[in-house]
Structure 1
Amino acid sequence: MPPSFDDTDGDLVIAARDLTPTEAHMLCGCLAAAGIPAEAGDTNLVQAHSLLAIAVGGACIRVPQRYLTQAQATIAAMRDGDFSLDENFDPGAPQD
Structure 2
Amino acid sequence: MIDVTWQIVASGIVSPEGPAVDRDGNVFLVSRWTGKVVQVTAEGVVHELVDTGGKPQSVALLPTGQLLLADAENHVLQRMTRKGKLTTIASRVDGTSEEFLGPNDLVV
Superposition TM-score, scaled by structure 2 size = 0.22
Which structure ranks higher in relative contact order (CA pairs < 8 Å, sequence separation ≥ 6)? 1
- Larger of the two Rg values belongs to structure: 1
In terms of fraction of residues, the more helix-rich structure is 1
In terms of fraction of residues, the more strand-rich structure is 2
